[in-house]
Amino acid sequence: MAVLRYDNLIIDPNQRRVYVSEQVVELTTVEFNILYYLASRPGWTFTREQLYRYAMSDDFASDLESVTSRIYKIRKKLNINVIHTVHGYGYRFEK
C-alpha cells in the first residue's frame, strides 16, 4: 500500500503510523482506518455509515455516533485541519 503524503502529514499504511511534522501521532486501529480511508480519497465525501462499515466492521460495540467521536479524536490528535464536516452528509479529507 502506498504511503500518503500531504504537506506535513504522512500516513504509512504498511507500518500503520501517522506523522505530523515528523512526530509520530498515536492513533487507535479504528482512528487509523478512518483517517487512511478518507486520506486515500481526498475531496470525496463519505457518510458516517460508509466510514463505519469500512473502519469498524469488527467492532460490534460501536454505532454510527462512534464515528463522530472518532473523527473528533483524530482531529484533536493531528492538530491540523484536514478532515472537514459536510453538514447533513458526512466527512471529507482536504489537503
Alpha helices (H) along the chain = 29-39, 48-55, 64-78
Each residue's pLDDT tens digit, 16-74: 999 999 999 999 999 999 999 999 999 999 999 999 988 876 655 567 788 999 999 99
**Res 80 pLDDT > 90:** yes
β-strand 45-47 against 23-25: which pairing, if any? unpaired
pTM above 0.75, yes or no: yes
